[in-house]
């Protein structure tokens, strides 16, 4: 192999688990709001008058005022619908069993953009540890203190001013006009999963997570209730142990859930369909303008929307050098993504139908032989942001002069996709290996990744893909 000692990654189930770390007291927990909204959209057309009244009565509303949002709002430039989706970790009432933490936080923030013609959707996720410029927000009586302009973590906005402050924050950061919001909590999430009779996932290795009360074997299985909640909340026992890795896994769960909610087995079974819609509407809180009637009208215009037209992306980011454990958005890539979404420059890509191995199905072991401390973690973060699955990051046994992608005959298609995104590298076929996983050996000649040219280059996957999708 010349100067580079890069060997193929062992099968994922043989890789050692990441070293244990002290988990935070509470964690981000789900990426589920849009599947509920889409379930209502696709199913609300068919419910009876009596069921319609019941669903309407289920939904809770919370007002967001003009004062909350301020005067400097982005202009609405098309008939696209932009919905802010947040996951709440409120711990009172039915959620008290998950820990006694006062107040309410949101570590799950998604902006769902549904195109003007209702023929495509893109979900932008915002990492909870993002350091951003936070705007001023008004105080909410004795409940929330308000927020002064400063640089802080993106989820501070909810602690300071509730959903109105988060709404204002996302609009200021993205310059995308938001039309509505949807909030979901722990108990609501479990009810939605159970109403679908569970959601299928596929695990590359067994999971034993005491904090999440989760023990699962490797392979395909259907998760319900507490298992599903534990799966989307777990962090250190799965993947590379990072919050970004968890984001990717939660997006895959949401894709699987949305696909099942929009499937024939759900939509053609009246009892299952109404059970799901009942669970969704009981689980969500929305602004007063997002009524069941609005959802039903939207459903009539979005009947042709399919899972393949729903894209998942994550805001371009990198680890902060000055604030360890935090992330910063990468510019101009983040601004370019927001501009494309605001201008609805996604429909062509969403409908392209290009057939290629989903990045989420490409497993990569990253070995840092560059001599630059921390580069392996940085590269892994960028690969994850682009949708690849990182199984491990490790230090190379000795320095590498050149960057190399090592692959087996079974992984050739995966290697070519990764190879095309790197500025300078070479590839190496390991004929004795059989794994589909790749090994990226980072050498002293590392020059980074090629910049994305379109939204298609930064998106992770569409909703036809999930953790059980065959590659």
Four-residue CA torsion sign, 158, 333, 248, 125: positive
Residues 6+ apart with CB under 8 A from 63: 287, 288
| Local confidence band at 348 (pLDDT 50, 70, 90 cut-offs) | very low
The conformation of residue 137, written as its DSSP 8-state character, comes to: B
Q: How much is the pTM? A: 0.66
* Mean pLDDT confidence for 431-443: 90
For 308-336, b/e burial (b = at least 16 CB within 10 A) is: ebbbbbbbbbebeeeeeebbbbbeebbeb
- Choice between 179 and 275, residue whose per-residue pLDDT is larger: 179
pLDDT tens readout for residues 110-161? 898 988 888 788 888 888 888 999 999 887 766 777 788 899 999 888 888 8
Q: Where are the beta strands (DSSP E) in 76-190?
A: 81-88, 106-114, 121-125, 131-134, 150-153, 180-184
315: left (phi over 0), alpha (psi -120 to 50) or beta: beta
Going by C-alpha positions, the residue among 342, 374, 463, 445 that lies closest to residue 32 is 463
pLDDT at 46 over 70: no
| Local confidence band at 250 (pLDDT 50, 70, 90 cut-offs) | confident
Which of 3-12, 48-57, 64-73, 125-134 is predicted least confidently? 3-12
- Whole-number Å distance between alpha carbons of 128 and 327: 9
- What is the separation, in whole angstroms, between the first and last Cα of the chain? 29
**Alpha-carbon dihedral 295, 296, 300, 306, rounded to 10 degrees:** 50
For 424-434, b/e burial (b = at least 16 CB within 10 A) is: ebbebebeebe
Q: What angle do CA 150, 151, 153 make, to 5 degrees?
A: 120
* Mean pLDDT confidence for 435-448: 93
Of the ranges 52-56, 309-313, 316-320, 339-343, which is most confident? 339-343
What pLDDT does 454 receive? 53
What pLDDT does 233 receive? 77
Residue 287's Cβ-side half-sphere holds a number of Cα atoms within 13 Å equal to 21
Q: What is the mean pLDDT of the chain?
A: 76
* Mean pLDDT confidence for 285-292: 89
What pLDDT does 311 receive? 80
What pLDDT does 303 receive? 66
What pLDDT does 82 receive? 93
* Mean pLDDT confidence for 247-273: 76
What does 409-450 look like in DSSP terms, one character per residue? Answer: GGGHHHHHHHHTTBSS-EEEE-TT---S-EEEEE-TT---BP
* Mean pLDDT confidence for 237-250: 69
Q: Is 74 exposed, middle or buried (0-12, 13-18, 19+ CB in 10 A)?
A: middle
What pLDDT does 2 receive? 36
Q: What does the radius of gyration of the chain's CA atoms come to, in whole angstroms? A: 22
Which of 327-336, 343-352, 383-392 is predicted least confidently? 343-352
What pLDDT does 325 receive? 74
What pLDDT does 128 receive? 83
pLDDT at 174 over 90: yes
- Compute CA distances 152 → 122, 132, 407, whole Å: 26, 6, 41
Asked if residues 317 and 385 have their Cβ atoms less than 8 Å apart, the reply is: yes
- Whole-number Å distance between alpha carbons of 232 and 250: 6
What pLDDT does 9 receive? 39
Q: What 3 state SS string does 190-216 have?
A: HHHHHHCCCEEEEECCCEEECCCCEEE
pLDDT at 422 over 50: yes
Which of 4-18, 31-45, 227-241, 362-376 is predicted least confidently? 4-18
What pLDDT does 279 receive? 85
pLDDT at 350 over 70: no
What pLDDT does 384 receive? 85
Helix (H), strand (E) at residue 100: none
What pLDDT does 369 receive? 96
The conformation of residue 147, written as its DSSP 8-state character, comes to: B
What pLDDT does 260 receive? 80
pLDDT at 397 over 90: yes
What pLDDT does 441 receive? 95
* Mean pLDDT confidence for 179-196: 86
- Report percent pLDDT > 70 for the chain: 74
| Local confidence band at 26 (pLDDT 50, 70, 90 cut-offs) | very low
- Whole-number Å distance between alpha carbons of 433 and 405: 14
Going by C-alpha positions, the residue among 456, 393, 444 that lies closest to residue 420 is 456
pLDDT at 18 over 70: no
The conformation of residue 144, written as its DSSP 8-state character, comes to: B
pLDDT tens readout for residues 70-114? 888 999 988 889 999 988 655 444 444 444 444 455 667 889 898
């Amino acid at each position: 192999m010349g100067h580079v000692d890069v060997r193929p990654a062992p099968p994922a189930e043989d890789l050692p688990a990441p070293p244990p770390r002290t988990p935070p007291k509470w964690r981000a927990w789900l990426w589920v709001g849009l599947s509920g909204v889409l379930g209502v959209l696709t199913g609300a057309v068919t419910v009876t008058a009596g069921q319609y009244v019941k669903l309407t009565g289920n939904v809770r509303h919370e007002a967001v005022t003009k004062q909350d949002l301020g005067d400097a709002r982005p202009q609405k430039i098309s008939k696209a619908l932009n919905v802010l989706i947040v996951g709440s970790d409120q711990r009172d009432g039915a959620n008290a069993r998950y820990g006694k933490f006062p107040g309410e936080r949101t570590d799950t923030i998604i902006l769902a953009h549904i195109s003007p013609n209702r023929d495509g959707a893109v979900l932008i996720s915002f990492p909870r540890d993002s350091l951003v410029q936070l705007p001023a927000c008004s105080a909410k009586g004795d409940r929330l203190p308000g927020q002064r302009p400063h640089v802080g973590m993106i989820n501070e906005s909810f602690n300071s001013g509730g959903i109105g402050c988060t709404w204002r924050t996302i609009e200021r950061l993205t310059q995308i006009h938001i039309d509505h919001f949807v909030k979901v909590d722990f108990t609501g999430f479990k009810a939605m999963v159970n109403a679908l009779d569970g959601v299928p996932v596929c695990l590359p290795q067994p999971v034993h997570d005491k904090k999440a009360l989760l023990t699962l074997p490797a392979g395909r299985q259907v998760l319900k209730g507490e298992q599903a909640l534990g799966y989307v909340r777990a962090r250190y026992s799965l993947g590379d142990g990072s919050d970004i890795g968890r984001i990717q896994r939660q997006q895959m769960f949401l894709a699987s859930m949305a696909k099942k909610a929009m499937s024939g087995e759900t939509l053609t079974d009246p009892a299952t369909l109404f059970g799901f819609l009942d669970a969704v509407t009981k689980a969500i809180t929305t602004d007063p303008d997002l009524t069941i009637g609005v959802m039903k009208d939207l459903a009539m215009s979005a009947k042709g929307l399919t899972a393949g037209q729903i894209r998942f992306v994550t805001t371009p980011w990198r680890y902060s050098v000055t604030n360890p454990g935090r992330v910063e958005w990468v510019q101009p890539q983040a601004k370019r993504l927001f501009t494309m979404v605001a201008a609805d420059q996604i429909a062509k890509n969403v409908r392209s139908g290009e057939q290629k191995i989903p990045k989420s199905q490409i497993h990569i072991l990253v070995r840092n032989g560059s001599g630059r401390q921390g580069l392996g973690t940085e590269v892994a973060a960028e690969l994850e942001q682009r949708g690849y699955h990182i199984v491990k990051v490790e230090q190379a046994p000795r320095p590498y002069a050149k960057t190399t992608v090592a692959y087996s005959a079974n992984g050739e298609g995966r290697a070519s996709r990764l190879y095309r995104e790197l500025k300078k590298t070479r590839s190496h076929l390991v004929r004795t290996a059989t794994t589909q996983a790749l090994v990226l050996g980072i050498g002293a000649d590392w020059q980074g990744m090629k910049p994305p040219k379109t939204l298609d280059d930064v998106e992770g996957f569409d909703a036809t893909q999930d953790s059980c999708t065959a590659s």
